[in-house]
Amino acid sequence: MLLGCLVLGCLLYIIGVPSAIAGTTGKNILYLNSYHHGYRWSDDITRAIHEVFRADGGRYRIYTEYMDTKRRRSKEMKRHTRSTLQLKYPPGFFDLILASDDAAFDFLLESRDELFGATPAVFCGVNFLDRARLAGRKGLLGISEEAKIFDTLDLALRLHPGTRQVFVISDRTTTGLKIRKKVEQVQSRFGNGVTFHMLPDISLEDIGRRLRQLPEDSMVLLGVFSRDSSDNFYEYDEVVPKLVENCPAPIYGLWDFFLGQGIIGGKLTCGYLQGRQLAGLGLKILHGVPAAALPPLSVSQGEFSFDMRQLDRFGIRPEDLPPGSAVVNREHPLASRMRIILLESLIAISVLLGVILLLLRVMKRRKQVQAVLEEDRSALEVEVRARTLHLTEANRQLRMEILERNRWARALQESEQEKSLILNSSSDLIAYLDTDLRIRWANRKSLDLAGRHPGEVEGLPCYVAWHGLEEPCIGCPLIRAEKTGQPETGEVVTPDGKIWLVRAFPFHDGHGRLSGFTSFSLDVTEQKRAQRAMHRLAYYDHLTGLPNRALLKKELDKRLEEAVARGHGLALMFLDLDDFKAVNDSLGHAKGDLLLKEIASRLQGCLGKEDILARLHGDEFIFLLSEVDDPAAVMAIARNVQNIMTRPFHLDGDEIYVGASVGIACYPLHGVDASNLIKRADRALYAAKGRGRNAIALFSEEINAHFHRRHQLESRLQRALARNEFYLEYQPQVNLQNGQIVGIEALLRWHNGDLGLVMPDDFIPLAEETGLIGPIGEWVLRTACTECLSLLQTGCDPLRLSVNISGYQIKHPDFVSMLDDVLRSTGFDSRLLELEITESVAMNDVEGNVETFGELKARKVLLAIDDFGTGYSSLSYLRNFPIDRLKIDRKFIKDVAECRDSSSLVEAIIGMARSLNLDIIAEGVETTEQVEYLLQAGCLQAQGFLFGRPMSPSDLRHVLRQQDSVSAAAIS
């Protein structure tokens, strides 16, 4: 393994690793670690920080500096750290400072302003931090590490009721002194029956001798011990084995890195969890949450963790531990070690193979690059030659053009007539004016506009000749040029509605006095109209005339700036029409568009003076409400909008009712920028739609958490099949008359490495919504047939295999062909396969389902209606379905022996099944009373916890073999 890592490192060095700093635009993060690399506490925190930032997906660069204060003097290392940071990093280089444990925190308090200025800083691992130390420290927040001394001692004394003396081991480091103080504070809570002794911080060997002499009624609480009275440093994995070796009494600890070294356990503080808390706070700041908006101080959490080997040593049962306790070393140490050796070997082999493949890929890539470079060089030479020829020709033409222009310049100087020709050919109004704006010369375009001859125009003010006004045009650039003496440009609107772009150039005589102007005027009326039309297309919805998303975003940004300046709030209300698709499907898109225009008109009547209504797309609208500070007021507005929408819309004789769901987000409660507000209002709308029609939802952390949970499930569900995270369990179906297993039902399970066991009710609806139910359903069917066939091949009697099929699968056009492929590839007998379809799915598309069911029956596949009694099946429809079995839903079986209503309904279902010649099976059977009732009512098959919980294929094989053994014994 080490050889593979070394080869990989050399390869990366040969290829060249680009600078991690130059040319990037990510966030720079400084991580100050109080201790040293290789110290497990430090490594756990470091690993958690890197995992959190990698999972976020942003571009972050983490620069780690170890202060090494465990092995060296704190003051000396602080000076060294300060000089190192000043040399390595320029001022303002970091966007965030992370610090772990007391030394790094103290260093921040002393040097943060000098080294980092106002850069926000987050800390963890500071033992029993006094909040007063954070007073006046802006941008500084974090986690106080508070060892769970009382909880650990309280549990230990309950597990060892005969204990009368507690010996505390804790050195005189900063952390050790705090532990001693806390023990002194809590010891009075245990009464006079327990005596506490503080062992002095003598050498490790002396403490070992003291521990060998402990009375039988003793226990030991290990705080921290990294330095003794002689200032000798000890690693944690050096301390604990020595103590355990010499101590006959149970030892409890306060930190998780002691676990597995010989302590029993306790409520342990975890460096990895603190690292995740630390990185989480840092991410919030990098995502734009102000540090002042976050709690300045959080408290670390502990969890009960124990070593199974030590529990066995002192006769403690796992059942006596607090619920949810973690227990390590459950397996045999040799098996665990062998697995680690095997894993390391596989990793080493994988790394070597990866290095080889990478080398081959690099060599191939280098050849490709060389070939491309050779082609590029040839192409570049061709292009250089072509461009050289082109530039030579261009220079020749430029020289000819210069000669030509020189000839024209001389000709223009010699011919006033040719000058007038050029001016008169311009589409601009060109004129020379005196200081009173009287025309001295004008081109033909100006004369045409005035409708006069040159002699009639000369001497008239320009505003009289061209526009028939008695005074200069409002905002005329000529007036400004007269005042400033500089060229001026501007637009002038004349009484006839035309827009002119006027450019005025003043002239001065030899004494610097203003002598006149040259005026250029261009009619830009049509251009301005086109610009206004383009603006409307860009910022307004073409159907309703409402502002679109782009204009709403601009207005929201502007209103947020005003809200900040004025100190008031605002709100976004997302409105989505309920079942609008049904209107389009039933009445057509033309009438749907007409309905949207009517809805927009009605919603505009709900607006305040400063409010904005926009249409985002389709049937989704959004309100921007200004100067609202109370979310309750926004909810009232939303209810008013819904009330207005309850009135019917009348379109060409049709009376249409449309409901609306509303999602709300408020500034500053739910966000301080436009993107977050829009996103959270949209999430609130999603939550409202999830509650049914005509609902209102105000954004909350619960909604946000639900969204993230759904997103988390969806992202992991996308990869679950490829990662083999699904597996099947099987529940027996038995004959109630003889107790024999006659069938099994395949039940899907999902175990994710991050989420643990996820129940089908949580992920099956999501799979149906995202379309993943197709490949998942095929995997279930194929796996169930394969595993059941394996059972039958071991000698078990034929069993009916029941597999649940979703509505998405049964409607898919390739479902039957997929089933054929599964049966052909697995070799499973179709006569033993039973497909279960829920009653609601069966009744959703009766005609389509009858056709599909017929194709399945042609293949001799059994069909069953699952959860029967919960839907609205009619007898006539059931007669048309070629089904074989009805499954009575578990909620009717639950109280069938006591409740007359349930028993009557079950009897009716059984009677109907008999009349249709259908088999019947009850699910959810858990008591013998239910079995007796079902037998009496005529139901001969059932499944439930009474006969067996869902089990793995191996457990099922064991149960079937036991059944076969009992049957064989009965026959003999």
pLDDT tens digit string along 232-271?
Answer: 887 777 888 888 888 999 999 998 888 888 899 999 999 8
pLDDT category at 411 given cuts 50, 70, 90 is low
Q: Is pLDDT of 114 > 50?
A: yes
Given a cut of 80, is residue 339 above it in pLDDT? Answer: no
Residue-level pLDDT at 501:
76
**pLDDT score recorded for residue 304:** 93
Q: pTM of the entire structure?
A: 0.44
pLDDT higher than threshold 70 for residue 336 = no
Q: Is residue 826 predicted with pLDDT exceeding 80?
A: yes
Across 541-572, b (16+ Cβ under 10 Å) vs e yields: beebebbbbebbbebbeebbeebeeeeebbbb
- What is the 3 state secondary structure string of 19-36? CCCCCCCCEEEEEEECCC
pLDDT band at 754 (very low <50, low <70, confident <90, very high): confident
pLDDT attached to residue 200? 82
Nearest to 798 by CA among 618, 573, 964, 570: 964
pLDDT of 7 strictly over 60: no
pLDDT of residue 356: 92
| 59 three-class SS | coil
- Do residues 546 and 600 lie in contact, with contact meaning Cβ atoms separated by under 8 Å? yes
For residue 913, what pLDDT band results from cuts at 50, 70 and 90? confident
Q: Which two tokens stand for residue 222?
A: 């290990």
Return the pLDDT at 22.
Answer: 37
For residue 877, pLDDT over 80 is answered with: no
pLDDT band at 605 (very low <50, low <70, confident <90, very high): confident
- Which range among 556-570, 646-660, 862-876, 911-925 shows the weakest confidence by mean pLDDT? 862-876
Per-residue pLDDT, 882: 86
Please report the pLDDT score of residue 135 as a whole number. Answer: 87
For 806-829, what is the mean pLDDT? 90
Q: Is 432 helix (H, G, I), strand (E, B) or coil?
A: strand
More confident residue, 319 or 330: 319
Distances (CA, A) of 900 to 467, 895, 912, 915, 934: 98, 9, 18, 22, 14
Q: Select the more confidently predicted residue: 637 or 3.
A: 637
- Using a pLDDT cut of 90, give the percent of the chain over it: 30
In this predicted structure, what is the pLDDT of residue 508?
81
Q: Any idea which of 546-555, 621-630, 844-853 has the lowest mean pLDDT?
A: 844-853
What's the pLDDT at 2? 38
Nearest Cα to 657, choosing from 644, 670, 669, 667?
644
For a pLDDT cut of 70, what percent of the chain falls above it? 91
Query: Would you state the pLDDT for residue 964?
Result: 75
Q: Sign of dihedral through CA atoms 321, 323, 326, 329?
A: positive
Q: Is the pLDDT of residue 811 over 90?
A: no
Q: What is the mean pLDDT of the chain?
A: 84
Residue range 152-170: average pLDDT? 92
**Mean pLDDT to the nearest integer, 757-769:** 84
pLDDT at 54: 93
Output the pLDDT for position 413. Answer: 63
